[in-house]
Structure 1
Amino acid sequence: GSGITPVMKFLQGHRVPMSIRVAVVKLLGGILAIGSGFPLGPEGPAVQMGASVACQMATNLRAPRSFLRLIVAAGGGAGIAAVFNAPLGGFIYAIEELLHNARPVVLMLVLFTTFTADTWGDVLNWIGFGKNQGFTRALSLEVTRTFDLADFTFQPIDVLYLILLGLVIAGLSELYNRYVIAMQGWSSRVFGPRPVLRMALCGLLLGLIFAPLPAEFADGAALKKLVALDLRDGTTDLGFNLVIFVAMFFTTGLAAASGAPGGLFAPMLILGGAVGLVGSELLQTTTGYAPSSFVFAGMASFVAGTSQTPIAATFITFALTKQIVLLKPMLVASLSCYLLARAINRRSIYERQLALEKQHSIWAPPLIAPVSLR
């Protein structure tokens, strides 16, 4: 599975394995699944790996049990920070989604952990473990980031368009949540305790779907880059972006139903970016003007609507651009999307996945009490 729901279940006090062994298995499984072309992202496994390593370290160092929940959540936030090079995004995600807590001691520990993970991610990228995208090297071992993106502006009229974009994406994100949960429920009923058969059949179906499509559709990173290049070049192919949205919408639900290790954040970013590009093209055609921030506002909004973490979604998307002018439009769209999505259904996709797991399996009694740090 994604890896986020086991961490949430652990933080609620249920028996969930958390150790170095779990982290290694999740790493290898994620590499195989994502490398095989499953349209999933690395952030789910990264959250569980970070949380598992943190739990193992806390156990080895005999940390007080009252801090175990906090340390595990900080490790999960560190996983998000490392994957997206987004220390603020990981920090806020741990507070907003995992802990629901904002005491000073909590903020300090989570902030330190996520920024440390992001720093080590920079160092490993500089050494060569990764694509080094956006990085330059210097003899002084200095790590600097460079980005080749379009110039963005923010006009007062953009607020109205961004609110409308957020409201539209709220409806789409709710449909996406229901579809993914329905697919996972169907998979659990049909296949039961036969994960190999489930992954094999889902993988076969995904291969048949991706076969007639361009090669980028089997590589989430390449597809996300393709959306960004479409924005940078200033040309938007309405039909192609609709194909991207429809294909990713249905295939990520199928991939999630397979139970393969992988997250949904990366597909959400692609879906939101495609909606933003389609909306931008429609506005440009009908009114002669479209906000330049629509694609990244769409990315942030889709994550906000599905996970119901608008602030974390904004800063995770901001990490892709590092352009401060985009913060305001992304916040406007994300908050409008979140408010409507919350009015439609108060549970995020991960909370629904927890309820689905509880429905199709017998949860073990609590291993630790869900300690409150309020």
Structure 2
Amino acid sequence: MTRLKRRILSLKGLLIGLMAGLISVAFRLCLEWIDEARWYLLAFAKVHGWLSCAAIAVGMGVLIALVVVATVKYAPEAGGSGIPHLKGYLEGFYAFRAWRIILVKFFGGVIGIGSGLALGREGPTIQLGAAVAKILGDRVAPNRVERKLLISAGAGAGLAAAFNAPMAGVFFILEELQHSLNQLVLVTAFVASVTADIVCRLIMGHLPVFHVQLTSFPGIGMFPFFVVLGLFIGYLGLAFNQALLYSSKWVKSWPLRGKIALALGLGVGMGILGLVLPEVLGLGGKLTEHVLGNRVTSGMLIVYFLLRFALTMIGYSTGVPGGIFAPMLLLGALGGNFFGFCVRIVYPEASFDPTVWGVLGMVGFFAASVRAPITGTILILEMTGAYDLLLPFMIVSLCAYSIPEYYKDMPVYDALLKRDRPQKPLHQQQALEPLVSLPGESPPSESSSPPS
């Protein structure tokens, strides 16, 4: 019976991986297209005078404001990365209105991030993968336990497709969602993540997300510096978690007109900033490549870090669909590279490829913020192909992990969920707001207010 169930779940995982891979690729292609369009428009405005600049800045603000309104009115659970909502559903605190999430997450994410918000596509891709799995699970899963398993598999498949990182997708499910090494969970997650990654590679190519070519590697004598780097990045991750939690909580209490005003002001400000430093807006992929390619001076590393940190805090607090995976990795790369500059000043013998510092910073920042060190280590390994750095990755990850743990800081997604979830699980909630369901959604009696 167990063998037959594994086979059936494998087939379901295959179908979920296919669906999650396709929607993830579509989301990625749309974001890349609109990201390039924003670069072109900003360059066009710089050449054609202040009226063009003003029009583009106002246009960016209006688009972000429209996304805020659509998200608040139609599917607030699609706001932000969506991972706290997903965890809340798996724990029984929220309903999962899959069609609303897909529509708002996909189009709201493309428009919001495309308009310049310093957010990432990876969190939305995870929630989109979970949403298509929910639609399928409602039809093929015989019970709620299996439906949750399939939804977790869809989330992992979304992560795998977003980063070309199937093993990271599997460990994200085990470490962050299911907290289990159950064989059925492992098989379903593995099949779904691998299938989604194959779909992504067939359409987008098989190269790593970040093309890192290391020419030399650090020796064992550098390991004490890696310990200090991990502690340094750990404090940066702690600051990131605290700032994100408090800024989003502060704005969450605002009325809708206040959020619209914030979105308008943020969009206009980003339009003006984009005329000078367009690389700090949007996904930040080009800036990450410049940082890892060591094409950024030490002074600009600080400027970029402060700008991206502030823009991520404000952008996430608006509630627009957009994740924090990519911002965390970029901030980690900036912090790691700056630390490397300082080390080379005091210890010139550190003559290995300086890109190592940025890559290590990415691993440490993820471990400090999300508190999933295994997922973070495997994710960066698959993203960069820097497998010779496995031991330094583990050292930095462990040290960075220890700082927020010492201060009893909760993992960022757990903290966001704990702050917003209701006191009682969904089945115990008495007064629930009636909602009109779309095909494939949970019935109105399952709805509740989700986290932003």
The answer to whether the superposition gives a TM-score over 0.5 is: yes
**Aligned equivalent of 1:254, options 310, 314, 333:** 314
State the partner residue of 1:139: none
CA distance in 1, matches of 2:392, 2:157: 26
Within the alignment, does 1:222 sit opposite 2:283 as a pair? Answer: no
1:187–1:202 CA distance, 2 compared to 1 (3 A): farther
Q: Which residue identity is paired with 1:328?
A: L
Contact kept? 1:301, 1:333, Cα under 8 Å: yes
Within the alignment, does 1:281 sit opposite 2:360 as a pair? Answer: no
- Within 5 Å, give how 1:308-323 maps onto structure 2: 308-323=371-386
CA distance in 1, matches of 2:83, 2:216: 33
User: Alpha-carbon deviation of 1:159?
Assistant: 1.5
Q: Which residue identity is paired with 1:226?
A: H
User: Alpha-carbon deviation of 1:217?
Assistant: 1.1
Contact kept? 1:236, 1:277, Cα under 8 Å: no
State the partner residue of 1:142: none
State the partner residue of 1:69: 148
**Aligned equivalent of 2:325, options 265, 268, 290:** 265
Deviations 1:22-51 (A, max 9, x none): 223211111111111100000111111011
Q: Which residue identity is paired with 2:224?
A: L
1:75–1:193 CA distance, 2 compared to 1 (3 A): farther
Q: Which residue identity is paired with 1:269?
A: L
Q: Which residue identity is paired with 1:365?
A: L
1:152–1:31 CA distance, 2 compared to 1 (3 A): farther
Contact kept? 2:87, 2:177, Cα under 8 Å: yes
What stretches of structure 2 of length at least 5 have no aligned partner? 1-79, 428-444, 447-452
Pick the structure with more helix per residue. 2
Q: Which residue identity is paired with 1:79?
A: G
User: Alpha-carbon deviation of 1:158?
Assistant: 2.2
SS for the counterpart of 2:293 is helix
What stretches of structure 1 of length at least 5 have no aligned partner? 127-131, 136-144, 369-374
Q: Which residue identity is paired with 1:241?
A: L
1:99–1:146 CA distance, 2 compared to 1 (3 A): closer
State the partner residue of 2:402: 339
Contact kept? 1:152, 1:325, Cα under 8 Å: no
User: Alpha-carbon deviation of 1:249?
Assistant: 1.1
State the partner residue of 2:165: 86
State the partner residue of 1:27: 106
1:58–1:12 CA distance, 2 compared to 1 (3 A): same
User: Alpha-carbon deviation of 1:199?
Assistant: 2.9
Q: Which residue identity is paired with 1:64?
A: N
Within the alignment, does 1:237 sit opposite 2:297 as a pair? Answer: yes
Within the alignment, does 1:324 sit opposite 2:387 as a pair? Answer: yes
User: Alpha-carbon deviation of 1:181?
Assistant: 0.9
- Deviation >6 Å, runs of 4+: 361-364
Normalised by the length of structure 1, the TM-score is 0.86
User: Alpha-carbon deviation of 1:201?
Assistant: 3.5
State the partner residue of 2:255: 191
CA distance in 2, matches of 1:146, 1:250: 24
User: Alpha-carbon deviation of 1:239?
Assistant: 0.2
User: Alpha-carbon deviation of 1:57?
Assistant: 0.4
Contact kept? 2:364, 2:400, Cα under 8 Å: yes
State the partner residue of 1:141: none
User: Alpha-carbon deviation of 1:328?
Assistant: 1.8
Q: Which residue identity is paired with 1:260?
A: V
**Aligned equivalent of 2:426, options 355, 361, 365:** 365
SS for the counterpart of 2:220 is coil
Contact kept? 1:171, 1:341, Cα under 8 Å: yes
CA distance in 1, matches of 2:210, 2:417: 39
User: Alpha-carbon deviation of 1:147?
Assistant: 4.4
Deviations 1:142-184 (A, max 9, x none): xxx9946232413112221111111111111111111111110
Deviations 1:71-123 (A, max 9, x none): 11111111111000010111111111111111222111111111111111111
1:70–1:289 CA distance, 2 compared to 1 (3 A): farther
State the partner residue of 2:7: none
1:276–1:312 CA distance, 2 compared to 1 (3 A): same
State the partner residue of 1:372: none
**Aligned equivalent of 1:58, options 137, 150, 169:** 137
1:157–1:101 CA distance, 2 compared to 1 (3 A): same
Larger Rg: 2
User: Alpha-carbon deviation of 1:337?
Assistant: 0.7
CA distance in 2, matches of 1:13, 1:197: 34
CA distance in 2, matches of 1:148, 1:344: 34
State the partner residue of 2:49: none
CA distance in 2, matches of 1:91, 1:193: 41
1:278–1:80 CA distance, 2 compared to 1 (3 A): same
Q: Which residue identity is paired with 2:106?
A: L
Output the aligned Cα RMSD.
Answer: 2.3
1:42–1:236 CA distance, 2 compared to 1 (3 A): closer
SS for the counterpart of 1:16 is coil
User: Alpha-carbon deviation of 1:21?
Assistant: 4.2
State the partner residue of 1:177: 241
Percent of aligned positions that are identical: 27
SS for the counterpart of 1:154 is coil
CA distance in 2, matches of 1:97, 1:221: 25
